[in-house]
Structure 1
Amino acid sequence: MDNPIVRATSLLAAGIVIGVMIGLAVSPARRSASTVVQASDGNSAGTTKVKPKSGSRLESEIEHPNILLGDIMTVPFQELYGVLSTLSAQQLDELAAQLKNLPAGKETNAKVVAFFKAWAHFDSVTALRAAAGFKNSEAKTTAVQSVITSADAAQAKALAKQIQEWPADFLTREQRNGFLNSLLVKWSDLDPVGAAKFFDTMQVDAMRFHPAASVIAQNWAAIDPSAAIEWARTHGDTQGFQGAMNGAINGWWSKDHAAAEQYVAMRATDSAGRQMASTLTSYIFSKDPERAKEWVSKLPDLDTRRQAEHVLVIQMAVNDPQNASEYAATLPADVREATLGGAINYWAASDLAAAGEWIKKLSGPARDEALGTYTYNLLRKDPSAAASWAVTISDPKIRDKSLNGIATFWLNKDPAAASSWIQNSNLPATDKKRLLGLAPGG
């Protein structure tokens, strides 16, 4: 008579490996069948004794061949990948089927993510096919996105084509577009021309694919700028596609700084051109801040230069608002005011007192412009202090605008205190009358 243990062992070796190596719990007979993968070919395999390795999570002898997925999400990725990669396609499908039968919820989603990320790392095409089999929409989305996230860029083309071939009612349009967007970005890392051609065969929501178009164009331009620019230009009138041209310019700059800079500078004379210049400014700054400053300072169109300088200063202010403020204060008068104001806004939001101390050291128009922004930030915290700062502004236009804003806010918040301050100030009578007239019902 055949020994049932030998027969079961030949069928279940891989399953037992999972139980021992990745801490998958071994189910007692009372566990629900929906949460286990049966360790047999449909017939009872009898009781099997598994002796865990010394030091493993299974510290005692366990009896039963049914294997649970258990704490799969706590297993290190490399360990899980190493085990799953030894299993047959049938065994992997059986484990996926077990996941599909688990109740929907956060814990199940965590198991789905761990399993499909590991599987996709060595066979993303098969993993995606299995992921598509989930009936629950949330679990399906989780599984498919996990495959896409973990898949190698070399497999992006095959995965995109597989998703494109799914029936129209298999996914919502938003889900399909989201998955394809992620895959096109990956695909373009290795083959931007192929990704662009695939993109052009699709009928998609342009706004949804704005990021993918930009990345495709950027990766393509790093190889062939003229072709990428032409591709982006052919889509220039498509809503949400303007990012493709910006991406192409950035990619071109990575290949030929001077040529890309000259191309943009010559065309930055309308709103689209200014936006392109601002985008390139931000990109250059992320690679070479000093070059970005030099290029922006030479832009021939004043409005373009103002917009680009503002982008520069805000990007600087995110990490170092004082440095951004100091840089903005040195700019020519025709671009300084709005730019300096942007830097002061960032600084005041993080350290109002330090910004005020720095402004005390300024003089002339730069001081007035900085104070115009600073008093606006200060008034909500201390309107009296804001008003005291505002009256020291030399430029009458900036001073009146600042005082008007402070008075309007203060007269609404605390009419008695505001009125008292205005009446007792050294302001001219006409200014006092104007400010008091800003009171509600005044």
Structure 2
Amino acid sequence: MSSRNLTLIGAVVVASAGAFFAGRMTAPSGNEPASGSAGTMPGKVSSRGGAGESSETARRDGAARDAAKGPASARGEKALAKMQELMLVTDPMERSKAWLDYINTIDPAEFESVVASFRSSGLTDTRMAEYSMLLTAWAKKDPMQALAYADEHTGNRFARNTILTSWASSDPDAALRWAREHHEDEDGEGNPWLIGVIQGIAASDPARASQLLTEMPFSEERGEALAALLPHLLAQGGDAAQKWAESIADDQLKQGAIARVADALAAKDPASTAEFLIRNPGEAANRTMDDVLTAWMEQDKGAAVAYYKALPAGDARTNALRGVANSMAMENPQAAADFLDANAADANNGVYQQFVWHSFGEAPDLAVNYIGKMTNAREQERMYGRILDGWLRRDFNAASKWIGSANLPQPVQERVQRRMQEQQQRQQ
């Protein structure tokens, strides 16, 4: 198979994986998925790519399609007809193979009319892989033309970053130059076009991709770029990914990288991942150690518990306890409660809060008793409110009986009494 075909197949993998660099792939028919946004809104298209397509854009697309249907060459008409024929193929494997073969036959001059026609039929989730392949192939033939079209006719980052990814894989300097020239610096904003460039060079030149990442300011865009780069670093092995994260000078970026690497490696090698977090204390370790221990508990409870008990007193041990207790609570809330009681010296508000959430479904009467062990009054009151509201809706009689016998803080008592009265009135 040619390298060109491999590149196009790679586009399918990227698109099917859930918008590796494009964000969520959900959008109404006719629109592209918004990058890093839950939806699209009409408005001016900016380099941040947050706006959807306007009526004027739709009008221009319609004109382009009309032009394609009018004095188009016989070859162009044949290409459009072939595309429409492929849209009727229902077998996914047959359709993917035929689509790849078709894309390899498109003349550079035909791409604009083909893309316009394809987009006019609606960009559903299931068709995003084909759209990505189409843009990738166009970028291989004429990236500047493809970017000009995307800039005029699309309202978010997906198309342009897909094109940039393809372009950067063959000509990184040119793609990078375009990305920098087409971004206006704003306070707190990262260059969104670097996401595509980083994605394009990550496999062949991870060092350069890492350098581009570290040059970006703290922003949503930098987070997306990190997500695009990380799989390529993980492909080099867990040790290499850990060393890369540890080498980052920017502490904020370093913490984000450590957390993501730990999340990716926890299920594969929880012991090594836990040690990785121990070597790098900080916000990321505090946030992810419990998940690592929970993953470890699923594989080897005895080893995970032994690891927790061998840790010295401190944040790491407390965070490890949270993971152990969470795992126990989902299987046997009473056993988890007994374990917490036996290791109360390591517990804090976060440990008790997580235990309550994880045990409430199976044993609400047990879970609520541990809210009182929280020492932060504000967090305790908030937890009582949320848990007791839920319990009253789920089992009013059992919750009411517990409330009547509990020594609750006055604000909590007043709140739950109001909730009980409201629920009783609704039932009358």
Whether the aligned pair in 1 keeps the contact of 2:270 and 2:296 (CA below 8 Å) is no
Q: In structure 2, what is the equivalent of residue 15 of structure 1? A: none
For structure 1, which runs of at least 5 residues remain unmatched after alignment?
A: 1-89
Whether the aligned pair in 2 keeps the contact of 1:157 and 1:187 (CA below 8 Å) is yes
Q: In structure 2, what is the equivalent of residue 281 of structure 1? A: 262
Q: Do the aligned partners of residues 383 and 189 (structure 1) sit closer, same or farther apart at CA in structure 2, a change above 3 Å counting?
A: same
Please tell me whether residue 440 in structure 1 is matched to residue 414 in structure 2: no
CA displacement 1:331-367 (0-9 Å, x = unmatched): 554135456546765776xxx4446545545621289
Q: In structure 2, what is the equivalent of residue 196 of structure 1? A: 176
Count of aligned pairs between the two proteins: 329
Please tell me whether residue 384 in structure 1 is matched to residue 365 in structure 2: yes
The one-letter code sitting in structure 2 at the alignment partner of 1:278 is A
Q: Identify the match of residue 293 of structure 1 among 274, 277, 280.
A: 274
Within 5 Å, give how 1:177-326 maps onto structure 2: 177-189=157-169, 192-203=172-183, 209=193, 211-216=195-200, 218-219=202-203, 221-222=205-206, 225=207, 227-236=208-217, 240-244=221-225, 254=236, 260-264=244-248, 267-268=250-251, 271-282=252-263, 285=266, 289-299=270-280, 301-310=281-290, 312-313=292-293, 316=295, 326=305
- Partners in 1 of 2:328 and 2:170 — Cα distance? 42
Q: In structure 1, what is the equivalent of residue 42 of structure 2? A: none
Instruction: State the 1:196 CA deviation.
Output: 3.0
Q: In structure 2, what is the equivalent of residue 164 of structure 1? A: 147
Whether the aligned pair in 2 keeps the contact of 1:325 and 1:343 (CA below 8 Å) is yes
Q: In structure 2, what is the equivalent of residue 365 of structure 1? A: 344
Instruction: State the 1:178 CA deviation.
Output: 1.8
Q: Give the number of the structure whose alpha-carbon radius of gyration is greater.
A: 1
CA displacement 1:295-340 (0-9 Å, x = unmatched): 21111x44343135256457x3897696997488455541354565
| Identical-pair percentage | 13
Q: CA RMSD in A?
A: 5.4
For structure 2, which runs of at least 5 residues remain unmatched after alignment?
A: 1-72, 420-428
Q: Do the aligned partners of residues 356 and 146 (structure 1) sit closer, same or farther apart at CA in structure 2, a change above 3 Å counting?
A: same
- Partners in 2 of 1:326 and 1:213 — Cα distance? 44
